[in-house]
Amino acid sequence: MAASENFDPKYITKAEIRSKGRAVRPKDAATLIIVRRDAKQPKILMGKRAAGHKFMPNKFVFPGGKVDPGDGRIRPPNDLHPEVLKRLAKGCSESRARALALAAIRETFEETGLVLGEPDTPTLKTKSPHWKEFLNYDVNPRLDTLHLIARAITPPYRSRRFDARFFMGEADLIQGDVHEAPEGSGELLELHWVSLEDAKSLELPNITRMVLTEVERRIIEGHTPKDDGPFVHFRNGKPVMERV
């Protein structure tokens, strides 16, 4: 099955194709799907959003969040693969593209406590309060092994909207112990590594379920930095499936 067919509009409810007045401008965000392969079945890290969240409460999601200004002010020694940077920079600058990838790593650290990067280069310096704690581990974020696998913009009727890029990386990037139940900031509850089959049975947002299908395809078939992925957004209140 082609990747575009995996993103079937049946996953999008009728409520999600209705626009109510002027749409809120989406904020840049980034998500990281970490694949762990040290068991018979690959596992991915997911957590449950708290009931008090206004955006997707009680749903299981991958770690991620909004881009912070500090994400665009550091330059790791290991940059994005040129093909990933090229695809990611469509519609934005290369510095913004790097900021998106860095936001995925930083938000994962903040939400799970896991440090993804490499310790063998001089540690970067920053004034960003969001990056200081990460860099205190003497680990630099590493971008060269991240794959851009999808992009999605929140439906226009929502009061909170995000233009999210989904990255995929390996658990080998984690420095230190790979905890069975990582402890993060508390923003994501019930953090744990789940198999793809178990993940499908969780309470998932529509877009998370679609991205999960793309993750499964790539794990089974393999992928390269050149491989494009689905781009889900809305035009005139109707879902549009393109490639990114």
Query: What integer pLDDT is reported at residue 49 of this predicted model?
Result: 75
With cut-offs at 50, 70 and 90, classify the pLDDT of residue 120: confident
Residue 3 located in a structural domain: no
Residue 72 located in a structural domain: yes
The total domain count for the chain is 1
Query: What integer pLDDT is reported at residue 12 of this predicted model?
Result: 46
Query: Does the pLDDT at position 3 exceed 70?
Result: no
Where in the sequence is the domain holding 36, given as residue range(s)? 28-147+156-202
CATH of the domain at 136: 3.90.79.10
Residue 8 located in a structural domain: no
Query: What integer pLDDT is reported at residue 55 of this predicted model?
Result: 52
Query: What integer pLDDT is reported at residue 215 of this predicted model?
Result: 98
Query: Does the pLDDT at position 75 exceed 70?
Result: yes
**φ/ψ (deg, to 5) at 171:** -65, -15
Q: Which of 187, 180, 174 shows the shortest CA–CA distance to 141?
A: 174
Q: What percent of the chain has pLDDT over 70?
A: 86
Spatial separation of the C-alpha atoms in residues 50 and 47, rounded to whole Å: 9
Residue 159 structure tokens:
């009061």
Residue 188 located in a structural domain: yes
Spatial separation of the C-alpha atoms in residues 109 and 175, rounded to whole Å: 11
Across 66-75, 84-93, 183-192, least confident range: 183-192
Helix H or strand E segment including 222:
none
Residue 216 located in a structural domain: no
Interval 13-63: pLDDT, tens: 444 444 455 778 999 999 999 999 998 999 999 999 765 555 555 789 999
Residue 235 located in a structural domain: no
Spatial separation of the C-alpha atoms in residues 48 and 181, rounded to whole Å: 12
Q: What is the DSSP letter of 235?
A: E
Residue 49 located in a structural domain: yes
* Cβ–Cβ under 8 Å, residues 145 and 35: no
Q: What is the mean pLDDT of the chain?
A: 87
Residue 21 located in a structural domain: no
Mean pLDDT of 104-112: 96
